[in-house]
Structure 1
Amino acid sequence: MPAASSSTTASAFLFPAFKYIPSIPTEIAPTTEGNTADLKTFVRAFLLPERLHHLHHSLPHSKQADMTRVPALTSHFSGAMDINYSPTVLICGHGGRDMRCGVMAPALEAEFQRVLRASGFTSAGSDGGGVDGPHHANVGLISHVGGHKYAGNIIVYIPPKMTVRGASAAAEAEPHPLAGKGIWYGRVEPKHVQGIVDETVLKGRVVKDHFRGGIDRSGDILRL
């Protein structure tokens, strides 16, 4: 998402790393000398793989190094923060090849914002002042996630430290059963949003009728 302060920077949520980067240069510097952070620095710090597939082992070491993540470069992004408490709902809004997701997405975004607010999340969507907190939820549109025939497509990311209510009113909060995981749903319509928020976000249960897959923080695929 473009940052309000400058047209040459952007912000990003990174999943399943559960991180938020508030300021990312959108240009590539003409030289790699010095300590200037640019878009390439961001890619090498956060997006490249930590290790390569064995099929790449025949490449020169210098080429392998260029294709591998460099964690030390994260120091260029001092504003990066962990998303520990706020659930994030990402909705496919792709409308290029097939309009089904593009048409469905705005209605789903509005309904998720409405239901989450009614469920006690005081700030949801892009109008809130923060991105992480026990009573905050992030809702936004993303590009294609696969399968127009499954529109609407959504991914619900449950942060690592999110909790659920205990069995009784007096019971202490318990770790969320889906903490640190992303759950991918398909064929979601606005009428299904209340159930997804109630079951998945608030109770940690997967809605099997809409389940398309999932992922945990290590990148492993989740299946029912």
Structure 2
Amino acid sequence: MSKFSLTGRVALVTGGARGCGLAFAQGLAEAGADVAVFDMIDPVAEYHEISATLGVKTKFYKIDVTSNENLSEGFAAVKKDFDGKLDIVVACAGVNKNVEFLDTTIEEYEKLFAVNSKGVFFTAQLGAKAMIENGTKHGSIVLVASIASHMAIRSQRSSAYCGTKGSVRAMVAPIAAEMNKHGIRVNSVSPGYVRTEMTAPFPHLLESWKDEIMNGRVAEPDDIKGACVFLASDASRYCTGTDIRVDGGVTMW
């Protein structure tokens, strides 16, 4: 079980102020990691409980992942605040838009692509550069894709979103191949339907999703964080270039 321990390591999670990103930040902290969080929204109450409850260091930065300048400033701040260490990067920041394919505007698509694909790519790039610079022996980059990279979402009109998430999963293997010589593993997690602050206001969707899921229930954030901890830890030291679906079997049903 010691291989799952992240004690003494520093992790960075984008989109970690709430929802799936917060769940990943909590899981990494529970495994012993100090955690930096990037987000454009202020963290929910549960974020503020991480440090007090688990005794790890946490720090929040208001960062726009679509701005390379702002993203670079964030990484520089993490380097300063966490004594130059960075071992784990989880690129989770993402947005969705329910819009018909024929009605999708260029502006809507570009916003989705900027956050979900460009933001993920350059978060991974800056994270890899930081890991190489500090010489970590435990480098792990986890990109957060989605079941939308594996299937159409029946209950929503989200072709543009699916495309951006598909690009995330597609970039994992080639980045992993290039980072292998630096001892940095790169993988992705594809969460399924999760009950979060973003989905809770739509009970009709949560109810309809149950019929699509093999095990008949929508995931809670606590259900998905284990995959991230596994990929961040030495327990997955032989995993690189792969994707883990945490979806209750919805993509296999």
Q: Structure 2 length normalisation: TM-score?
A: 0.27
Bigger share in strand: 1
Q: Structure 1 length normalisation: TM-score?
A: 0.29
